[in-house]
Chains A and B, each alone.
Chain A
Amino acid sequence: QKEVEQNSGPLSVPEGAIASLNCTYSDRGSQSFFWYRQYSGKSPELIMFIYSNGDKEDGRFTAQLNKASQYVSLLIRDSQPSDSATYLCAVTSSGNTPLVFGKGTRLSVIA
Chain B
Amino acid sequence: DAGVIQSPRHEVTEMGQEVTLRCKPISGHDYLFWYRQTMMRGLELLIYFNNNVPIDDSGMPEDRFSAKMPNASFSTLKIQPSEPRDSAVYFCASTPYGRVDHNEQFFGPGTRLTVL
- The interface of chain A, by Cβ under 8 A from chain B, is 32, 34, 42-46, 49, 51, 88, 92, 94-104
Given contacts A32-B102, A96-B95, A99-B45, 18 further A-B contacts (CB under 8 A): A42-B109, A43-B109, A43-B110, A44-B43, A44-B107, A45-B107, A46-B104, A46-B105, A51-B102, A95-B100, A96-B97, A97-B103, A101-B42, A101-B43, A103-B41, A103-B42, A103-B43, A104-B43
Known: A43-B108, A43-B109, A45-B107. A96 touches B42 (CB 8 A): no
Asked if A96 contacts B56 (CB within 8 A), the reply is no
User: Among B56, B98, B107, which residue has its beta carbon within 8 angstroms of that of A43?
Assistant: B107
Asked if A49 contacts B45 (CB within 8 A), the reply is no
Chain B interfacial residues counted at CB < 8 A? 24
Query: Could you give 18 example pairs across A and B, Cβ below 8 Å?
Result: A34-B103, A34-B104, A43-B107, A46-B104, A94-B100, A95-B99, A96-B31, A96-B98, A96-B99, A98-B33, A98-B45, A98-B56, A99-B45, A100-B45, A101-B43, A102-B42, A103-B41, A103-B43
| Interchain residue pairs A-B with the least CB separation, the first 9 | A95-B100, A103-B42, A43-B107, A101-B43, A49-B102, A46-B104, A98-B45, A44-B107, A43-B110
What CA separation (Å) do A44 and B93 show in the bound complex? Answer: 10
What CA separation (Å) do A7 and B11 show in the bound complex? Answer: 31
With most chain B CB atoms within 10 A of its CB, the pick from A94, A96, A97, A102 is A96
